[in-house]
């Protein structure tokens, strides 16, 4: 680290105090070694933190970004080294005390201290949980004790009330029997009255389901209370409790003849857009998706170009079948070839014609023409 500090301090431009800053930084590095901050760490981060602290101690305004640019470490690494040094007792000393006093106590490595801190927090959490469980058990015991007291009080009150009723000569069982017999008699009278009023319907043999339920009910509990009440007029009037009618194929076929409520018609009409709304929505959609539409057009044009290229290649590759040349002699073949297509303008075709008849005079060639 000594060589690194001297090189980095010269680059940070401390001027005349460069030697003092570097000596302070070296002492900081020595202190970090004693406190086990340097173990397992690269020297550039240690030197950067020491130089930043030394620069601030000697009243130089150097930011972490300035040091990071020269030391070539990340700013988070530099800040971590500063925090680790801040956890040591040496960070509480002044400049004079730090330069003169050497603390004999050495600190544990930062990773070891962090692990110890986590263990302490875990133990404290377990202790808090145990304390909470103890508090819960104590509260439970208090609640049970209070419930026992309340139960004893109720028993005492019930015993006192029973004694008072016996003294007054009131029998609870007799009073309950009297009330039950009175209720049964009233119910029987009501049932007889209903039967007398419905004699005409019974003579015709028409007995509704509700009447059967009333006859069978007797002294039983009210079915409405149990939740088994039959369909009443209120239930029929409630459209939410009525079961929906099953739709057949005929109903679906004649769906156009359905008559809707005004609210349903208004809701359906609100879902249908007018022509102006459709135009406005189309314009908005085109504005929003203009880039996508342009890209789509480019892709379509590129595909069309590729298809046209393939077609041209196919046309070039197709050749016409040549008619066979039927000639008795070589001269006839040459004449037919010359008649169909002239190979070159530099060939004297008269000489070619005279090849079949040797001894015939060759016509003179015009000036400028060459014979190959």
Long-range contacts of 24-28 (CB under 8 A, 24+ apart): 24/53, 24/54, 24/57, 24/58, 24/95, 24/99, 25/50, 25/51, 25/53, 25/54, 26/1, 26/2, 26/50, 27/98, 27/99, 28/53, 28/54, 28/85
Please report whether residue 362 resides in a domain: yes
Q: Is residue 59 part of a domain?
A: yes
Query: Does 18 reside within a domain?
Result: yes
d(CA 48, CA 70): 9
Q: Is the pTM of this model over 0.75?
A: no
- 8 and 48, same structural domain? yes
Q: Are residues 334 and 302 in the same domain?
A: no
Which pLDDT belongs to residue 299? 92
pLDDT for 298 equals 92
Same domain, 33 and 76: yes
2-27: average pLDDT: 85
Considering the domain architecture, whether residues 8 and 85 belong to the same structural domain is answered as: yes
Structural domain total, the chain: 3
- Beta-carbon contacts of 180 under 8 Å, excluding residues fewer than 6 positions away, are none
| DSSP category for residue 146 | H
Last residue of a domain, one of 38, 72, 107: 107
Comparison of pLDDT for 161 and 132, the residue scoring more: 132
Task: Tell me if 196 is assigned to some domain.
Answer: no
Residue 121 has pLDDT above 80, yes or no: yes
Average pLDDT value over all residues in the chain: 72
Is 165 contained in some domain?
no
Tell me the average pLDDT across 230-234: 48
Residue 235 pLDDT more than 50? no
Identify whether residues 56 and 21 lie together within a single domain.
yes
Q: Is residue 345 part of a domain?
A: yes
Asked if residue 203 belongs to a domain, the reply is no
Instruction: Give phi and psi for 223, each to the nearest 5.
Output: -70, -30
Residue 227 has pLDDT above 60, yes or no: no
Residue 7 belongs to a domain with what CATH number? 1.10.472.10
Determine phi and psi for 357, rounding to 5 degrees.
-120, 90
Non-local (6+) Cβ contacts of 19 within 8 A are: none
340 plus 305 within the same structural domain: no
pLDDT at 367: 53
What range does the domain containing 97 cover? 2-107
pLDDT tier, 66 (very low <50, low <70, confident <90, very high otherwise): confident
Nearest CA to 21 out of 60, 73, 71 is that of 60
Most confident of 21-25, 131-135, 314-318: 21-25
CA–CA separation, 28 and 35 (whole Å): 11
């Amino acid at each position: 680290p000594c060589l690194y500090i001297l090189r980095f301090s010269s680059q940070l431009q401390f001027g005349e105090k460069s030697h003092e800053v570097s000596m302070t930084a070296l002492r900081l590095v020595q202190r970090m070694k004693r406190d086990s901050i340097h173990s397992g760490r690269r020297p550039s981060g240690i030197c950067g933190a020491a130089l930043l602290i030394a620069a601030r101690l000697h009243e130089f305004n150097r930011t972490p970004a300035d040091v990071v640019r020269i030391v070539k470490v990340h700013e988070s690494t530099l800040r971590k080294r500063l925090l680790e040094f801040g956890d040591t007792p040496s960070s509480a000393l002044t400049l004079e005390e730090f330069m003169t006093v050497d603390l004999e106590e050495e600190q544990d490595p930062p990773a070891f201290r962090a692990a110890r801190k986590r263990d302490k927090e875990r133990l404290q959490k377990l202790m808090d949980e145990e304390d909470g469980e103890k508090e819960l058990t104590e509260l439970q015991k208090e609640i049970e004790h209070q419930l026992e007291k309340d139960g004893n009080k109720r028993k005492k009150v019930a015993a006192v009330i029973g004694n008072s009723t016996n003294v007054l000569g009131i029998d609870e069982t007799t009073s309950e029997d009297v009330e039950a017999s009175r209720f049964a008699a009233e119910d029987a009278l009501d049932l007889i009255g209903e039967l007398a009023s419905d004699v005409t319907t019974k003579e015709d043999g028409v007995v509704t389901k509700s009447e059967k339920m009333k006859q069978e009910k007797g002294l039983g509990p009210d079915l409405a209370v149990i939740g088994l009440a039959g369909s009443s007029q209120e239930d029929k009037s409630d459209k939410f409790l009525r079961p929906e009618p099953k739709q057949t194929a005929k109903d679906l076929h004649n769906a156009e003849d359905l008559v809707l409520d005004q609210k349903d018609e208004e809701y359906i009409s609100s879902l249908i857009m007018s022509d102006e709304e459709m135009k406005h929505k189309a314009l908005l959609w085109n504005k929003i998706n203009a880039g996508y539409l342009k890209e789509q057009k480019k892709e379509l044009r590129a595909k069309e170009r590729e298809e046209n290229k393939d077609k041209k290649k196919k046309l070039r590759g197709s050749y016409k079948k040549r008619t066979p040349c039927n000639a008795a002699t070589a001269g006839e073949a040459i004449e037919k070839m010359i008649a169909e297509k002239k190979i070159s303008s530099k060939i004297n075709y008269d000489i070619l014609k005279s090849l079949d008849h040797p001894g015939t005079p060759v016509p003179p060639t015009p000036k400028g023409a060459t014979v190959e």
